[in-house]
Structure 1
Amino acid sequence: MYDVEVGLDPAFTVGTVDPRLFGTFVEHMGRCVYGGIFEPDHPTADEHGFRGDVAELVRELGATVVRYPGGNFVSGYRWEDGVGPVAERPRRLDLAWRSFEPNTVGVDEFCRWARGVGIDPILAVNLGTRGVDAAVDLLEYANFAPGTTSTADRRVANGHKDPHAIRTWCLGNEMDGPWQIGHKTADEYGRLAAETARAMRRADPDIELVACGSSNSAMPTFGTWERVVLEHTYDLVDHVSLHAYYEPVGGDVDSFLASSEDMRAMITAIAATADHVGAVRRSDKRLTISFDEWNVWYQHRFAGQEGLERTENGALIEDVYDVTDAVVVGDLLMALLDHCDRVAIACQAQLVNVIGPILTRPGGPAWRQTIFHPFALTARHARGTVLRTAVRTAPLATERFGDVPATRVTAVQDPVTGALTLLATNRSRTEPARLTVDLRAFGHRRLLEHLTIADDDPSATNTAEQPDRVVPRPATGTVLDGDQTLTATLPPSSWHLIRLGD
């Protein structure tokens, strides 16, 4: 067993958590939409064809925003195909995932579903095969009041009088990637993004815009891409995006458990890049980051886009997650919170079936994957102000990152109730940690709960037959000594939520 000592003081803060940090992502890919959120023949389907059992789990998950409709899909998408009478909508070939898109679900249906489950949509526009005109038309269709333009009146004629009131818009998706339909150089994309942003802001000055950043930290253009793009767009956008997916490459589980070190480094590097562009421009503006695709994804199991057969609504990258994956997801959430001064938006990708926290069976049940639980608990309780933590812990040797902290600890205080939430990850696969937290600066406290995700079998998963094999469980032996010190034991490969009240 090794010791972990944590110092905290409510006077020393990182920043306030933007609720959009707890976002999710729905793309027209595999069974995320059709067979995921939407299945008209399902016993729980509502009058619009959306699964009621999935909607209940989405509400429980606690996501605040949802990015739509992609993803790679958006770079070849004609949004007009997905509005109007369903029977008249064209069936198209989606070049991104080599599937046939029926366009049964489009912007109107999706926005109605999202708001129905308590989530605000974030829309992405196609800057792969399209550009300024299509983006502004979609903005008018979604946000303009009846009678203002013929495009807004088209929405009304389609049965949606009230505007969808979309606040946040993504200017394309992963345009740095050669796999992207309409892939561009940084200069090419930056100029198009600036032209599109300028036009969209003239149409609706109150929107927020996200410029495409790097698809992952291994991209050869990482950093340079952001610099060039922001030289074109800095004064026109509010956020720059980042994407990252993690897996145990070559079976290297120790590095996998430390995946958030890469995420933390990405955030720091791109924040510095954005600040450099701002400094050169003599600007007082401070851009933030939209980490709008992140998750565990076993990409080595995926043959790639070129190997896909043409299908309609076929299963695609439906990874089944275990305990170790849940610990990594919890740790990634902590990294986002620890950088809440620069990360305003984050979207776990994706929501259902496609590397999702929710899995479904056609005509059958829907259930929570292991990664569902750290997201739901963090979204529910980690609201408010992130505090700076001084953590003394043993090092963990990893092949990819060198020596890293064996334990990470994040603290969030609710400014209204005063409740203090501690999140902790023990990354060691062999050694438990003895956690000691100094709480003298917080006055009277009482222990509300200590929940943990851990298992003697770190490969344990949830299935339709055993949907609750892995769930958060109350920890034992956690003690609050007066108002001074909290002590707890963190088992190997575990994630924890500890709540303290007044």
Structure 2
Amino acid sequence: MKASITAHKDFTVANIDPRLYGSFIEHLGRAIYTGIYEPDHPSADEQGFRQDVIELIKEIDVPVTRYPGGNFVSSYNWEDGIGPKENRPTRLDLAWHTSENNAVGIHEFANWAEKVGTEMMLAVNLGSRGLDEARSFLEYVNHPGGSYWSDLRKHNGREDPWNVKLWCLGNEMDGPWQIGQKTADEYGRLAFETAKAMRAFDKNIELVVCGSSSPMMDSYPDWESTVLDYTYDTVDYISLHMYFENNSLHMYFENNDSNATHYLAKAEQLEHYIETVAAVIKTTKAKKRSDHDVFISFDEWNVWYHSREQDKAILEGADGWPQAPALLEDIYDFADTLQVACILNTFIRHSDVVKIGCMAQLVNVIAPIMTVEGGPAWRQTIFYPYMYASRYGRGTALNLAVNCERYDTDFATQVPYLDVSCVQSDDDGSLAFFIVNRHASEEIEFDIALEGFEHHTVIEDKVISGYDLSQTNSPQAETVIPQEGTRISLVDQRLNATIEPLSYRMIRLSL
């Protein structure tokens, strides 16, 4: 099979916000305890953070991390996580039916974020609490001093404010599983008043209002329309969440390649989701005759289905209220590697409207990084497409013309077998192509015409290919890893290469 691609220097999508490659840490399962924080671990630093995990996170270069939830935030009292640890209360977390000892709170998370080099994205509780909690939390975190909450922060050991810029107004408030679920009108009104109060403190912070938890919600996309009608001129982003499942591949087809092609088409649903909400934003802006822009914060996304059956006992309360049990610990396979690569390509191609993204989550909980308590940290199969996109997907996204064969599924039509995005670096002008072959049995020979560019050298060519779709990594062996690419040439501004069936390839070209 052959495909042709044209990359033109003047045909661009947008300059990519680096925060498109962010992540998420929630008080859920082992994301924090025995994930990023394990004081008794051999690699733990003086503050209890696992340095082996920190080094893996630095490999990805995570620009922003959302905290403390997630569903957890909707019944969370942030004040429980400040002051001497021996005085902090243990609370029952209603979201995940576990106990939370609050050994990690805002001070600890901020210290970890500084070590990792990530910006904090904080969420306020608009489920069981509301406006007053939000303004107090903001004052505690961002005010220099001379007020009750800022002076309490100083008393607790942090002299300077953290000056957190990015704030989420609750989490998934449309969801019936959410503590304090609200109708779109109830939430829209509360979010507007909370945003107004937070902006009275600092008009320059960035605020994220809750959009739909999934495109499968009955309230979607009316939810977005109603909420934005209340909040449009007071917020900067509307959040979207989406998780990708492939139960049929493993439960019914047992590694059926053609079903994997079906699975990899699910990024088309993501594309439709983004475009629909972008249209709602545009319509609301026109209706309000506003000169303000609102963008999308896709602050929860990932593959999630492997662990759902095994988690039922804990979530239904059969084990009481355990502290940091193993929850949502999906062990990803090679098929998931390709899916994550397609998701990231979709975000890059829509970087004009999607400005923030948070892979959910970063460690242990549906995560690219896993840990063994007291043992090693290791990379899941999905680590690599995330790492390459974060490292080399910062700059200007190009609007590519792709000509290749296509296929239909029961939920998407005209899906291209070759899924590709391209970014030109703002730092050195290099081009990075991120490519997935969705075809189950045919390699694709592709030709890229570089119009208006002067790139003449292939500086990096990595391939993840040839694995059984169910192949996973483990603490004992990281089997699914990148290899050096072959069969590639760059002559007279034309790049020619071949990608194997069901494969990922990342190619970088220099000036």
The verdict on a shared fold, with TM-score over 0.5 as the criterion, is yes
Paired position in structure 1 for 2:253: none
Partner in structure 2 of residue 200 of structure 1: 198
- Corresponding position of 2:71: 72
Normalised to the residue count of structure 2, the TM-score between the two structures is: 0.95
Q: Using the alignment, how far apart are the partners of 1:8 and 1:380 within structure 2?
A: 20
The answer on 1:176 being equivalent to 2:166 is no
State the alpha-carbon separation in 2 of the partners of residues 486 and 80 from structure 1: 57
1:442 aligns with 2:453: yes
Name the SS of the counterpart of 2:8 in structure 1.
coil
- In 2: Cα distance, 1:311 partner to 1:161 partner: 35
Structure-1 residue corresponding to 2:470:
459
Please name the residue that 1:479 is paired with: 489
Q: Note if 1:261 corresponds to 2:268.
A: yes
Q: Name 2:503's counterpart in structure 1.
A: 494
Could you report, residue by residue, the CA deviation over 1:200-258 in whole angstroms, capped at 9, with x for unpaired residues? 00011110000000001111111100000011100110000000000114334323212
Look up the match of 1:119: 118
Deviation at 1:304, TM superposition (A): 8.6
In the alignment, the residues of structure 2 paired with residue 413 and residue 423 of structure 1 have an alpha-carbon distance, to the nearest angstrom, of 12
| 1:92-117 CA-partner distances (Å, limit 9, x unpaired) | 00000010000000011101111111
- Contact 1:255–1:401, Cα closer than 8 Å, also in 2: no
Instruction: Give the counterpart letter for 1:311 in structure 2.
Output: P
In structure 1, what is the Cα distance between the partners aligned to 2:64 and 2:324? 24
Task: Kindly state the Cα deviation for residue 306 of structure 1 after the two structures are TM-superposed.
Answer: 5.1
What CA deviation, in whole Å up to 9, does each residue of 1:299-332 have, x standing for no partner?
6535398524321110001011111101110111
In the other structure, the counterpart of 1:386 is: 397
> Is this contact kept in 2: 1:96–1:305, CA < 8 A?
no
Q: Is the 8 A contact 1:462 1:470 kept in 2?
A: yes
Which string of whole-angstrom CA distances, capped at 9 and with x for unpartnered residues, describes residues 441-497 of structure 1?
A: 212421112111122322211111102x1111111111112x321111111111111
Aligned to 2:155: 157
1:309-388 pair list within 5 angstroms: 309=319, 310-388=321-399
Q: Secondary structure at the match of 1:498?
A: strand
Alignment of 1:45-124 (within 5 A): 45-124=44-123
Aligned counterpart in structure 1 of residue 215 of structure 2, from 207, 214, 217: 217
1:439 match: secondary structure = strand
Separation of aligned partners in 1, 2:313 and 2:432: 40
For residue 146 of structure 1, report the CA deviation from its aligned partner.
Answer: 2.3
Q: Which runs of 5+ in 2 are unaligned?
A: 250-258
Within a 5 Å distance, the mapping from 1:21-40 to structure 2 comes to: 21-40=20-39
Deviation of 1:378 after TM superposition, in Å, equals: 1.0
- 3-state secondary structure, aligned to 2:439: coil
In the alignment, the residues of structure 1 paired with residue 315 and residue 323 of structure 2 have an alpha-carbon distance, to the nearest angstrom, of 16
CA distance in 2, matches of 1:70, 1:443: 45
Q: Summarize the alignment of residues 5-16 of structure 1 with structure 2, pairs less than 5 Å apart.
A: 5-16=4-15
Question: Structure 2 vs 1, CA of residues 356 and 232 (structure 1 numbering), >3 Å: closer, same or farther?
Answer: same
Checking the alignment, whether the CA contact within 8 Å between 1:323 and 1:455 is kept in structure 2 is no
Contact 2:369 2:377 in 1 (8 A): yes
What amino acid is the match of 1:196?
T
Which stretch has the larger CA shift, 271-280 or 456-465?
456-465
How many residues end up aligned between the 2 structures? 498
Q: CA deviation at 1:171?
A: 0.2
Q: Tell me, in whole angstroms, the C-alpha distance in 1 between the residues paired with 2:410 and 2:418.
A: 17
Deviation at 1:416, TM superposition (A): 3.9
Aligned residues: CA RMSD: 1.3
The 8 Å contact of residues 249 and 256 in structure 1, kept in 2 or not, is answered as no
* Cα shift at 1:431: 1.3
Tell me the secondary structure at the aligned position of residue 107 of structure 2.
helix
Structure 1's unaligned 5+ residue stretches are none
Give the conservation status (yes or no) of the 8 Å contact 1:254–1:398.
Answer: no
The separation in 2 between residues aligned to 1:445 and 1:324, in whole angstroms, is 33
- Give the TM-score normalised by structure 1: 0.97
Q: Determine if the alignment matches structure 1 residue 420 to structure 2 residue 449.
A: no
Change (3 A) 1:200 1:356: same
Query: Which whole-Å deviations, capped at 9, do the CAs of 1:17-38 have from their partners, x for residues lacking one?
Result: 1011010000000000011000
Question: Which residue number corresponds to residue 252 of structure 2?
Answer: none
In structure 1, the residue corresponding to 2:233 is in which secondary structure?
coil
C-alpha separation between the residues in 1 aligned to 2:315 and 2:360? 21
Instruction: Give the 3-state SS of the residue equivalent to 1:435 in structure 2.
Output: strand
Task: Give the Cα–Cα distance (whole angstroms) in 1 for the partners of residues 428 and 388 of structure 2.
Answer: 17
The residue matched to 2:137 in structure 1 has which SS?
Answer: helix
* Alignment correspondent of 2:419: 408
CA offset digits 1:61-114 (Å, max 9, x no partner): 111000000000000000000000100000000000010000000011101111
> Bigger shift: 367-376 or 458-467?
458-467
* Offset at residue 39 of structure 1 (A): 0.5
